[in-house]
Amino acid sequence: MPKFSLEKIVKNNRDDVFEIFSNFENYQRIIPQHYPSVRIRSMRGDVSVVEEHLVLGDMELLIMAKHVSQKPVLHEIIVIGGDAKGSQIKQKFIELEKGTKILVDVDLKFKGKMKISTMFGKNNFKQDYDKILDDFVKLAEN
């Protein structure tokens, strides 16, 4: 299944960048084109379980995701249910002199009909996820 890494440089301090990228509570409000629906199911400390409707390119995924944060260094998303169960996204935030470097590792897994459609579709998941990151970067720099 699709596995890839991306890197972004953001012209803002690490704390502010981390807050934008890890604040899943606001995804539906700030980037509805990618997250039309977000519903928090549970929050305990730095671990949350969230129902998410994610638009990735031309695919619409319904997922249950566990968000784990280690502020301001790491934000992990582990898909524990739904269309992409078993997928993982790890975002590392590295403080630079004039900004923040974000290293993103994505390991997508699909089940059932989704798996079959990804095998025969013309999906470019790396490019599609890069667009989501670009929208986060724009928000973090404003």
* Averaged pLDDT, 39-46: 96
C-alpha 4/C-alpha 133 separation (Å) is 14
Which comes out higher in pLDDT, residue 85 or 113? 85
3-141: CATH class: alpha beta
pLDDT of residue 133: 97
- Are 133 and 6 a contacting pair, CB within 8 Å? yes
pTM, rounded to two decimals:
0.90
Complete edge-to-edge strand list for the sheet that includes strand 59-70: 3-10, 99-107, 88-96, 74-82, 59-70, 47-56, 37-44
pLDDT in tens, 83-103: 999 999 999 999 999 999 999
* Averaged pLDDT, 108-125: 65
Pick from 112, 108, 102, 111: which is nearest to 125 by CA? 108
The band of 1, judged by pLDDT with boundaries at 50, 70 and 90, is low
How high does pLDDT run on average in the chain?
A: 92
Structure tokens, 24: 């899943």
